[in-house]
Structure 1
Amino acid sequence: MDPRTKSSLLWGIIGGMSFGVLAQAYMIIAEPLPIGIWGVLFGGVTVGTITTVVTYATEYRLMQKGRT
Structure 2
Amino acid sequence: MDRSTLDTLAWGAVGALAFLVLAQGYRLFAEDGVGFLPLLGVAVVVFAASSLVAHLAATRLR
Task: Give the structure-2-normalised TM-score.
Answer: 0.89
Which one scores higher on RCO, CA 8 angstroms, separation ≥ 6?
2
Q: How many residues get paired? A: 62
Gaps (5+ residues) in structure 1? 64-68
CA RMSD in angstroms, aligned pairs only:
1.1
- Work out the CA distance in 1 between the residues paired with 2:48 and 2:2: 18
Aligned to 1:36: 35
Structure-1-length-normalised TM-score: 0.82
Report the Cα distance in structure 1 between the residues aligned to 2:16 and 2:59, rounded to whole angstroms.
22
Gaps in structure 2 of 5+ consecutive residues: none
Percent identical among aligned pairs is 35
Identify the residue that residue 7 of structure 1 maps to in structure 2.
7
Rg larger in structure: 1
Deviations along 1:22-61, one digit per CA (max 9) or x if unpaired, are: 101101012232x311100001010011000110011001
